[in-house]
């Protein structure tokens, strides 16, 4: 999609929300779920940009391990990288992408980078914090910026991000750890519709009430801790149902869980520092789960959150 078309779409969406037309419709857009293109592994966001639907999460990756993991991901075709100011690794993520560009692995526009600003002092001084993310990443622009958590200053911080979108420094906006109540209150106060909400989602914590609510607003859902989260993966990856399904398809338990997410319309960003895992986690498009297999995994939900937010 060319730049002019994207800009036009952003302006139309901005105008719609500013006039209240979008806000009036919020919550009552049946079947507005953003469609995943499972052939190309992408989704068209409400901002007009196309985003990959599988990526690499970088929480807990630092230094050379982070640089090497991001480069390994880019080398095996992963084009979505999730970082955050709070992870303390934006510099390494930026360095890895710049090196991959210099080595001819990717071009800047092929890679979709998400970062986040944190509650407290960052959201109290949003212009400074947003610019600091841009400076640390040093990639010219950021594809998407999220508010990491709700905060007393979240609306004004979001307004600051909106201005960076108008200035062309950020392409799309989103939220993280926002649920039905928070979203309902938030959406009427902003001009640019969030394109994405990133929340904890895995077979033991499925958010089956929250996901359709978000998707019906034409907002893409992205799951964090898709494999249960570092330190919590053993039980989930060893789950008997998931392993039975994995065996039937000749894939790993991790691939089954990630594919289940994609078929529910949830973008996945598994974290890994192991190049073999990174490659495996990107091979999600050569098999599909049957309705029965989806139902069996859906039945594993036990509302078991692996982190507090």
Residues carrying an active site annotation? 87
Minimum distance, C-beta of residue 279 to ligand NAP, in the bound complex (Å): 9
What are the DSSP calls for 139-186, one per residue?
Answer: SSSEEEEEESS--TTHHHHHHHHHHHHHTTSEEEEEEES--HHHHHHH
Does residue 203 bind ligand NAP (CB under 6 A)?
no
Interface residue with ligand NAP, options 226, 246, 260, 261 (CB under 6 A):
226
Does residue 280 bind ligand NAP (CB under 6 A)?
yes
Give the interface segment with ligand NAP, choosing from 121-129, 130-138, 241-249, 271-279 (CB under 6 A).
271-279
Q: How far is CA 294 from the centre of its chain?
A: 22
Cα Dmax for the chain = 53
Does residue 272 bind ligand NAP (CB under 6 A)?
yes
Minimum distance, C-beta of residue 91 to ligand NAP, in the bound complex (Å): 16
Q: Which residues contact 51 (CB under 8 A, 6 or more apart)?
A: 42, 43, 45, 80, 112, 143, 144, 172, 195, 196, 220, 267
Cβ 220 vs Cβ 51: under 8 Å:
yes
41 to 80: interface string for ligand NAP, x by CB under 6 A: ----------------xxx---------------------
Interface residue with ligand NAP, options 159, 230, 249, 296 (CB under 6 A):
230
> Which residues, numbered 126-185, are part of the site for ligand NAP (CB under 6 A)?
176-177
**86-123 core/surface letters (b: 16 or more CB in 10 A; e: else):** bbebbbbbbbbbeebbeeeebeeeebbbbbbbbbeebb
Minimum distance, C-beta of residue 20 to ligand NAP, in the bound complex (Å): 30
Q: How many amino acids of this chain bind ligand NAP (CB under 6 A)?
A: 28
Interface residue with ligand NAP, options 51, 137, 144, 254 (CB under 6 A):
254
Does residue 269 bind ligand NAP (CB under 6 A)?
yes
Interface residue with ligand NAP, options 221, 251, 270, 293 (CB under 6 A):
270
The residue sitting closest to ligand NAP, measured at its beta carbon, is: 271
Q: Which residues contact 281 (CB under 8 A, 6 or more apart)?
A: 54, 56, 254, 255, 258, 268, 270, 272
Cβ 93 vs Cβ 143: under 8 Å:
no
Q: Contact positions toward ligand NAP, by CB under 6 A?
A: 57-59, 82, 176-177, 198, 224-230, 233, 237, 252, 254, 269-274, 277, 280-281, 309
């Amino acid at each position: 999609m060319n730049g002019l078309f994207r800009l036009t779409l952003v302006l139309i969406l901005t105008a719609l929300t500013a006039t209240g037309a979008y806000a009036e419709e919020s919550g009552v857009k049946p079947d507005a779920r953003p469609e995943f293109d499972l052939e190309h592994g992408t989704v068209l966001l409400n901002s007009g940009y196309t985003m990959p639907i599988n990526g690499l999460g970088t929480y807990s990756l630092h230094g050379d391990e982070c640089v090497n993991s991001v480069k390994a991901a880019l080398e095996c075709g992963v084009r979505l990288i999730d970082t955050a100011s709070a992870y303390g690794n934006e510099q390494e993520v930026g360095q890895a992408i710049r090196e991959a560009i210099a080595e001819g692995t990717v071009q800047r526009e092929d890679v979709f980078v998400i970062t986040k600003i944190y509650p407290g002092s960052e959201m109290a001084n949003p212009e400074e914090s947003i610019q600091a993310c841009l400076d640390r990443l040093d990639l010219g622009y950021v594809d998407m910026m999220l508010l990491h958590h709700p905060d007393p200053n979240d609306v004004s911080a979001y307004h600051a991000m909106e201005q960076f979108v108008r200035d062309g420094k950020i392409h799309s906006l989103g939220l993280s750890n926002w649920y039905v109540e928070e979203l309902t209150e938030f959406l009427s106060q902003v001009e640019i519709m969030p394109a994405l909400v990133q929340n904890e989602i895995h077979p033991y914590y499925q958010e089956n009430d929250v996901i359709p609510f978000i998707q019906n607003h034409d907002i893409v859902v992205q799951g964090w801790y898709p494999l249960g989260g570092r330190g919590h993966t053993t039980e989930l990856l060893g789950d008997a149902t998931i392993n039975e399904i994995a065996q039937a398809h000749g894939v790993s338990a991790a691939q089954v869980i990630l594919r289940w997410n994609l078929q529910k319309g949830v973008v996945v960003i598994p974290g890994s520092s192991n190049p073999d895992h990174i490659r495996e986690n990107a091979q999600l498009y050569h098999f599909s789960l049957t309705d029965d297999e989806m139902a069996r995994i859906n039945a594993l939900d036990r509302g078991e959150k692996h982190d507090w937010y």
